[in-house]
Amino acid sequence: MQTIFQSLLKVVSLSLLLSAGASMTARAQGARLQLTSLDYLAAKASQTVDVNIDAKLLQLTAKFFGNEPDDKEIKALINGLKGIYVKSFEFEHEGEYTAADVELIRAQLKNSAWTKIVGVVSKKEGDIEVYLMSNNNEISGLAVLSVEPKELTVVNILGPVDIAKLASLEDQFGIPDLGIERPAKIKPKN
């Protein structure tokens, strides 16, 4: 009887561990936005940026940064990331993408896992929305949606993102300048 109980306990424990692992994997995958619905816009765009860097490629890329302070900062930031995905389209004329294209992305960001932290609306310049996905007080994903009259950009970063250091990734890996102020560096006292 004791061995049957122990075997049953092992099976239940293994099942719980597998379920927890699957849940964590699903959560990480849940931060990845599906951007393929925008692929057809490349034929209409005058300029297209399409970045797909997974965790393995990020680690390989980190090796190419030097020992300069800015390089070290970028290396530290991308060290724990699981992926960087960017789709950006610039158009010659307004109206070359539709509101439905934007809604396909927004619909993915409207579930309970994502929290909108920034929303800027400008009829003249366009809208910017920033969303975070968090898991137990750790950010597990970031999404930026920039909707301008002649440009549409979606940035999706997977993994623990340090918002204070995010400015280091601007203009790297196809991530546009998001207007994030870099924290002032404290100069040592002599």
pTM exceeds 0.85: no
Percent of the chain clearing pLDDT 90 (strictly above): 42
Collect contacts of 167-174 with beta carbons under 8 A, ≥24 apart.
168/70, 168/73, 168/74, 168/77, 169/74, 169/77, 169/78, 169/84, 172/74, 173/51, 173/53, 173/61, 173/84, 173/86, 174/49, 174/50, 174/51, 174/84, 174/86, 174/88
Which of 20-24, 94-98, 159-163 is most confident?
94-98
pLDDT over threshold 80, residue 15: no
> Could you tell me which of 65, 71, 51, 67 has the C-alpha nearest to residue 158?
51
Q: Which residue has the higher pLDDT, 10 or 140?
A: 140
pLDDT for the residue 182: 45
pLDDT band at residue 89 using 50, 70 and 90 as cut-offs: very high
